[in-house]
C-alpha cells in the first residue's frame, strides 16, 4: 500500500470491503474507477479507458462517469447482474486535512434497485434469503424493497422444492450463509439466474422487532433476519416502509413447479421475452401498477381454499353486473399512481416533489372510488370500501405545501407554495421586489442617458451590472457609473445602489432555496408517518383492480363461473385454450369437451402431429389455474375439483446449461411428477418416451401410465404416438381413449381439432411431413418404406402387469412371452444358456415397484444381453 498515493490507498482500502462490486469513487464531479474495475467497466459501459499516476512507475487504469448522469450507467451494470457500491465524499474538501474522507453510502444490487428501467412497474423485484436447517428444512424470506412487502415460509423436503419456490417468485438476488453448500448455490444460480450474496449475521436486533414480531419458528427467524441484516448493511438508510413479515405455507396454494410454469407459459413465454402469449398477458386488464403486480402474485400462487376462491368469484360477478360502475372505476384507477413504490421512495429518502404531487393526486381519487364501490350495495364491496383510507389530512397537507408543477431537483427551489411558510414568503417578497427594482432601474437609466440599448444584466461571476455598447459609451455622463468589465463590443458598469440591491436579492434567493430544501425534507419526513395507511389502501386498490380486470376479460371473452367441488368429477364443456383463442383473433376457435370422473382418471390422447393434442392438454391445465385464482374460465360450463398441484411434461428441449439431453430432461420432469403428485393433482404428459428408441419409449410410457393408475390416482392427460398403448383401455380400469380427429380429403390431411372418444386409427406422420412441404420424391419414398415396414412389423401388444395377469388366470410364462415382443424374437434353436437367464430375469421383475428410470435401466441391460 505504501507505494501508492494517499488517495489510491484510500480507494484500495474501501474496495477491499466491496470486492464483488464496482466501486464508484467520487472525485469532484465524477465517479471514478481504478485497476480491474476500470478495465471491466470500460468494456461493459463502452466508455474510454484512461490512466493516471498513482505513485508507482506504472500508471493505474482509470475510467469515470459524470456524477449527474451516473444513474444510467449504474442501471446498465445492474441489468447485467453486477453490484455497484456508491462511495461519496463525506467531508467538505475545504475543511479536510489531507485526503477528503470518503465512505460507501449505498450498495446497489439487482435485488435492491429501487427505480429505473431495470425494474418493471407491473412486476415485483424480489431479494430473498435462505437459511438451511438440518433434516432438509429450509427457511425462505423475501422482500420487494421498492414496495416494502415481506414474506417468509418454511420448506420441508428436498432442495428442488426450495429451487422451485425461488424460481416461482423470480428472485433477482439470493442471500445465503457463506458456509452454505456450494452445490445448492450452483443450483440456485443455474435455475433462478439469480445473483448470489452472502451474509453471516442472522441474530435479532431491536430495530427489526416491528417486522419480525409474528415469527416464532427458527427457520422463519433466521432467514428473515439474515435478509434484514443484509439490507441494513448495504442500504445504510431508513427502511421504515418494510411491512411485517407475512407467513405463508406452500400447501396453502396450488403448487406449479418451475418446468410446468415454463411449459404452460403462465408468466413467461417459452421463447423470447415478450409477455404476449402468456396467461398474465391474457388476464392483465389492470389499470394500476399495483394491481398488475398483485395479479402476478395470484397467478403464481392459485388458491386451494374453496371458500376463498368463491369469495373472488362473487366479487368478479358483482363487477360484471355493474357494467357502468366498472367503466367509471377504470377511469378513476388510471389516475392512481403506484402508492406502494411512492411510499417506498419516501421512506428511502429519494422521493422528489413530483412524487409527492403524484401521491396527492392518487389520494384525491380515493373518495370517489370508495363511493363507487360502496354503491354496489353488497357486504363484500362494503368490506373493501371501509378499508379504503383517503388520508384526507395528508392530501390536505400536500395540497397546501407543494407547488403544482415542481422541478425534478429538490435543491433548486420552486417546490413550496406561497403561503405555506412565513419566512419563505418574506424572502420571496424581498427577492421579487428587488428584481422589480432592477427592472425599474433599467427603464430609468435608459430615459436619463437616452441610450435605448442600455440593459441591466446578471452573471454568477460579476453579479448585476449595467451594460452599454461601445458606440454609446461616449454619451455617458462622466463619473455616472463605476467601470467593472470591458468586452469587445461593450462596457459593463456598476453603481453602489445596484450592488446593495444585488446583495439583498442574492441573499434572499440563496436563503429561500436553502429554506425550501429544509421544508421539503421536513415535509417528506411527515409523509413517512402515513406509510402504513398508504400501504393498506394500496392493497385494497390492487385487489379492486384485479376484480375489475377479471370481470372485463370474462365478459369480453364469454367466460363462465366454474363450479368447484370435492368429488373426482371434471367436466369442461366447450373448453377453449384462452391464450390461443385470443391470439387467433377473428379466426374461429374449435372448442372441446373434457370429461373425467372416478372411473375415468387417465385420458390417453392420440392423433396426428399439429392436430391440437398439446393445446387440448394445456387448456385443461390453464382452466384449472384460472378457476383457482378466482377468475371465470373459457367454457360454456365447467365443473372442477380443486387441484393441489399441476405437473407437466410438454415439448422437447435440451437443457444445455446442465448438459442434459432432451430424453434426460423428459425423464427428470416425469420423475418430479411421479414422486410428488397426489390423487388430487393434475398431470399432463405429452409423448413421453419419444426421446429414445421405439421399444424403450413404449415400455416406459406403459410403465408410467400403469404407475400413475395404480399408485397415484391423479387426473392425467397422456398424449402419445404409440398407438399400441390404446389397448390399455381394455386392461386398466380408469384409462379412457380419446383422439384429436383429422380426415383425408383428396389425399390431403385436414385437421378438425375436435377431440372425440376412442383411439386414432392412423398416425398421419407422412401427411404432416407433406404439409411441411418436404420434397415430393422424399414423401413418396417414405410411403414405400412405411408399406414395407408394416408388412414385417410385429404387433406390439401392451401387457398387463404380472399381478394383473395372475388375476386374469394367465400364467407367468405367457407374461414372459408377451414382454419378449419388445425385442427380435430369438429362434428356439439359437436359445442358449444366456437367453434362458434373461428370461428368468424378466420373469422375476416386479414392475409395480420400479420407477420409470429403473425400468429404463433394466431394459437397457437386458437388451445388451439379448444382442449378445
CA distances from 282 to 267, 294, 318, 581, 653 (A): 10, 15, 21, 10, 25
CB atoms within 10 A of CB 279: 22
DSSP 399-462: HHHB-SS--S-SSSS--BPTTS-HHHHHHHHHHHHHHHHHHHHHHHHHHHH--TT-EEEEETTT
DSSP β-ladder status, 50-52 and 563-565 = unpaired
Residue 42 annotated as part of some ligand binding site: no
Residue 607 annotated as part of some ligand binding site: yes
Burial 635-646 (b: 16+ CB within 10 A, else e): beebbbbbbbbb
CA atoms 748, 749, 752, 756: torsion sign: positive
CA-wise closest residue to 405 among 360, 365, 368? 360
Query: What are the strands, taking DSSP E only, across 578-714?
Result: 592-596, 602-606, 637-641, 645-649, 682-686
The helix (run of H) or strand (run of E) holding residue 755 is: strand 748-757
Q: Percentages helix, strand, coil for the chain, rounded to the nearest 5?
A: 50, 20, 35
Residue 272 annotated as part of some ligand binding site: no
Residue 591 annotated as part of some ligand binding site: no
Reading the block at residue 8, the C-alpha cell is 489510491
CA atoms 682, 686, 692, 693: torsion sign: positive
| Radius of gyration (C-alpha) of the chain in whole angstroms | 36
Reading the block at residue 801, the C-alpha cell is 402387469
Determine the Cα–Cα distance for residues 565 and 52; give it in Å rounded to an integer: 74
Could you give the residue ranges of the DSSP H alpha helices within 195-217? 209-212
CA-wise closest residue to 328 among 295, 376, 292, 281? 376
Determine the Cα–Cα distance for residues 446 and 458; give it in Å rounded to an integer: 17
CA distances from 468 to 434, 440, 476, 497 (A): 22, 17, 9, 18
Residue 611 annotated as part of some ligand binding site: yes
Reading the block at residue 664, the C-alpha cell is 434426460
CA-wise closest residue to 178 among 14, 11, 20, 22? 20
User: Are 353 and 406 spatial neighbours (Cβ–Cβ below 8 Å)?
Assistant: yes
Please state the φ and ψ torsions of residue 468, each to the nearest 5 degrees. Answer: -125, 135
Residue 197 annotated as part of some ligand binding site: no
Burial 329-356 (b: 16+ CB within 10 A, else e): bbebbeebbbbbbbbbbbbbeebbbebb
Residue 748 annotated as part of some ligand binding site: no
How crowded is the C-beta side of 840, counted as CA atoms within 13 Å? 6
The DSSP letter of residue 600 is: B
CA-wise closest residue to 348 among 106, 598, 69, 553? 106
User: Are 402 and 415 spatial neighbours (Cβ–Cβ below 8 Å)?
Assistant: yes
Determine the Cα–Cα distance for residues 731 and 798; give it in Å rounded to an integer: 9
User: Are 483 and 491 spatial neighbours (Cβ–Cβ below 8 Å)?
Assistant: yes
Q: Is 490 exposed, middle or buried (0-12, 13-18, 19+ CB in 10 A)?
A: middle
User: Are 522 and 424 spatial neighbours (Cβ–Cβ below 8 Å)?
Assistant: no
Residue 532 annotated as part of some ligand binding site: no
Determine the Cα–Cα distance for residues 19 and 70; give it in Å rounded to an integer: 20
Q: For 486-493, which contacts have Cβ atoms below 8 Å and span 24 or more sequence positions?
A: 491/467, 492/457, 492/462, 492/465, 492/466, 492/467, 493/465, 493/466, 493/467, 493/468
Residue numbers in the known binding site for ATP are: 607-614
Residue numbers in the known binding site are: 607-614
Amino acid at each position: 500500500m505504501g507505494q501508492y498515493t494517499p488517495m489510491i490507498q484510500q480507494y484500495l482500502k474501501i474496495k477491499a470491503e466491496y470486492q464483488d462490486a464496482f466501486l464508484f469513487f467520487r472525485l469532484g464531479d465524477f465517479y471514478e474507477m481504478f485497476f480491474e474495475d476500470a478495465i471491466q467497466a470500460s468494456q461493459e459501459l463502452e466508455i474510454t479507458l484512461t490512466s493516471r499516476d498513482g505513485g508507482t512507475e506504472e500508471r493505474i487504469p482509470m475510467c469515470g462517469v459524470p456524477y449527474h448522469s451516473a444513474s444510467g450507467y449504474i442501471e446498465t451494470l445492474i441489468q447485467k447482474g453486477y453490484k455497484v457500491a456508491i462511495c461519496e465524499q463525506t467531508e467538505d474538501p475545504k475543511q479536510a486535512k489531507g485526503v477528503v474522507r470518503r465512505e460507501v453510502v449505498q450498495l446497489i444490487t439487482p435485488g435492491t434497485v429501487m427505480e429505473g428501467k431495470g425494474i418493471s412497474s407491473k412486476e415485483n423485484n424480489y431479494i430473498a434469503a435462505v437459511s438451511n436447517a438440518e433434516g432438509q428444512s429450509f427457511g425462505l424470506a423475501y422482500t420487494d424493497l421498492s414496495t416494502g412487502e415481506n414474506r417468509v415460509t418454511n420448506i420441508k423436503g428436498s432442495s428442488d422444492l426450495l429451487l422451485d419456490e425461488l424460481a416461482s417468485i423470480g428472485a433477482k438476488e439470493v442471500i445465503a450463509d457463506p458456509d452454505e453448500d456450494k452445490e445448492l448455490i450452483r443450483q440456485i444460480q443455474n435455475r433462478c439466474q439469480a445473483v448470489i450474496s452472502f451474509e453471516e449475521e442472522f441474530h435479532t436486533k431491536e430495530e427489526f422487532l416491528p417486522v419480525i414480531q409474528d415469527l416464532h419458528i427458527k427457520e422463519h427467524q433466521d432467514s428473515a433476519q439474515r435478509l434484514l441484516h443484509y439490507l441494513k448493511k448495504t442500504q445504510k438508510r431508513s427502511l421504515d416502509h418494510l411491512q411485517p413479515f407475512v407467513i405463508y405455507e406452500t400447501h396453502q396454494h396450488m403448487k406449479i413447479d418451475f418446468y410446468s410454469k415454463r411449459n404452460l407459459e403462465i408468466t413467461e413465454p417459452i421463447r423470447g421475452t415478450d409477455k404476449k402469449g402468456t396467461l398474465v398477458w391474457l388476464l392483465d386488464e389492470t389499470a394500476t401498477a399495483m394491481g398488475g403486480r398483485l395479479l402476478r402474485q395470484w397467478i403464481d400462487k392459485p388458491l386451494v381454499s374453496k371458500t376463498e376462491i368463491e369469495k373472488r368469484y362473487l366479487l368478479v360477478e358483482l363487477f360484471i353486473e355493474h357494467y357502468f360502475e366498472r367503466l367509471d372505476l377504470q377511469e378513476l384507477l388510471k389516475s392512481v399512481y403506484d402508492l406502494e413504490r411512492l411510499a417506498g421512495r419516501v421512506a428511502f429518502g429519494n422521493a422528489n416533489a413530483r412524487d409527492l404531487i403524484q401521491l396527492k393526486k392518487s389520494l384525491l381519487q380515493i373518495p370517489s372510488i370508495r363511493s363507487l364501490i360502496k354503491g354496489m350495495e353488497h357486504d363484500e364491496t362494503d368490506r373493501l370500501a371501509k378499508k379504503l383510507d383517503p388520508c384526507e389530512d395528508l392530501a390536505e397537507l400536500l395540497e397546501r405545501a407543494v407547488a403544482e408543477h415542481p422541478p425534478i431537483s429538490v435543491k433548486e427551489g420552486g417546490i413550496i407554495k406561497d403561503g405555506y411558510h412565513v419566512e419563505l414568503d418574506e424572502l420571496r417578497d424581498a427577492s421579487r421586489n428587488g428584481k422589480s427594482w432592477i427592472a425599474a432601474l433599467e427603464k430609468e437609466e435608459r430615459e436619463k442617458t437616452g441610450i435605448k440599448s442600455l440593459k441591466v444584466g446578471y452573471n454568477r461571476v460579476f453579479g448585476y451590472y449595467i451594460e452599454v455598447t461601445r458606440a454609446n459609451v461616449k454619451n455617458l455622463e462622466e463619473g455616472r457609473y463605476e467601470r467593472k468589465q470591458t468586452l469587445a463590443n461593450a462596457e459593463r458598469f456598476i453603481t453602489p445602489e445596484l450592488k446593495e440591491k444585488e446583495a439583498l436579492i442574492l441573499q434572499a434567493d440563496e436563503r429561500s432555496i436553502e429554506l425550501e430544501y429544509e421544508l421539503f425534507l421536513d415535509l417528506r419526513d411527515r409523509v413517512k408517518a402515513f406509510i402504513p395507511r398508504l400501504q393498506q389502501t394500496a392493497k385494497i386498490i390492487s385487489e379492486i383492480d384485479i376484480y375489475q380486470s377479471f370481470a372485463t376479460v370474462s365478459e369480453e371473452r364469454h367466460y363462465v363461473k366454474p363450479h368447484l367441488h370435492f368429488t373426482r368429477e371434471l367436466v369442461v364443456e366447450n373448453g377453449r385454450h384462452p391464450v390461443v383463442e385470443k391470439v387467433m383473433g377473428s379466426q374461429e376457435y374449435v372448442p372441446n369437451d373434457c370429461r373425467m370422473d372416478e372411473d375415468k382418471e387417465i385420458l390417453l390422447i392420440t392423433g396426428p402431429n399439429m392436430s391440437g393434442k398439446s393445446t387440448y392438454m394445456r387448456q385443461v391445465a390453464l382452466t384449472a389455474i384460472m378457476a383457482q385464482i378466482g377468475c371465470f374460465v373459457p367454457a360454456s360450463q365447467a365443473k372442477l375439483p380443486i387441484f393441489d398441484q399441476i405437473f407437466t411434461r410438454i415439448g422437447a428441449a435440451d437443457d444445455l446449461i446442465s448438459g442434459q439431453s432432451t430424453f434426460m430432461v423428459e425423464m427428470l420432469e416425469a420423475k418430479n411428477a411421479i414422486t410428488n403428485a397426489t390423487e388430487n393433482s393434475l398431470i399432463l404428459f405429452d409423448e413421453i418416451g419419444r426421446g429414445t428408441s421405439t421399444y424403450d419409449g413404449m415400455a416406459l410410457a406403459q410403465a408410467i401410465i400403469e404407475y400413475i393408475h395404480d399408485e397415484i390416482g391423479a387426473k392425467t392427460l397422456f398424449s402419445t404416438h404409440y398407438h399400441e398403448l390404446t389397448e390399455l383401455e381394455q386392461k386398466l380400469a380408469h384409462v379412457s381413449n380419446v383422439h384429436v380427429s383429422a380426415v383425408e380429403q383428396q389425399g390431403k390431411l385436414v385437421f378438425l381439432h375436435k377431440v372425440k372418444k376412442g383411439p386414432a386409427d392412423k398416425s398421419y406422420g407422412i401427411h404432416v411431413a407433406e404439409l411441411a412441404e418436404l420434397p415430393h420424391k422424399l414423401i413418396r419414398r417414405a410411403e414405400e418404406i412405411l408399406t414395407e415396414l408394416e408388412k414385417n412389423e410385429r404387433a406390439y401388444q401392451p401387457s398387463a402387469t404380472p399381478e394383473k395377469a395372475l388375476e386374469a388366470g394367465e400364467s407367468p410364462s405367457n407374461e414372459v412371452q408377451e414382454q419378449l415382443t419388445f425385442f427380435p424374437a430369438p429362434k428356439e434353436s439359437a436359445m442358449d444358456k444366456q437367453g434362458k437367464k434373461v428370461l428368468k430375469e424378466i420373469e422375476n421383475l416386479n414392475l409395480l415397484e420400479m420407477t420409470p428410470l429403473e425400468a429404463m435401466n433394466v431394459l437397457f441391460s437386458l437388451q445388451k444381453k439379448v444382442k449378445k
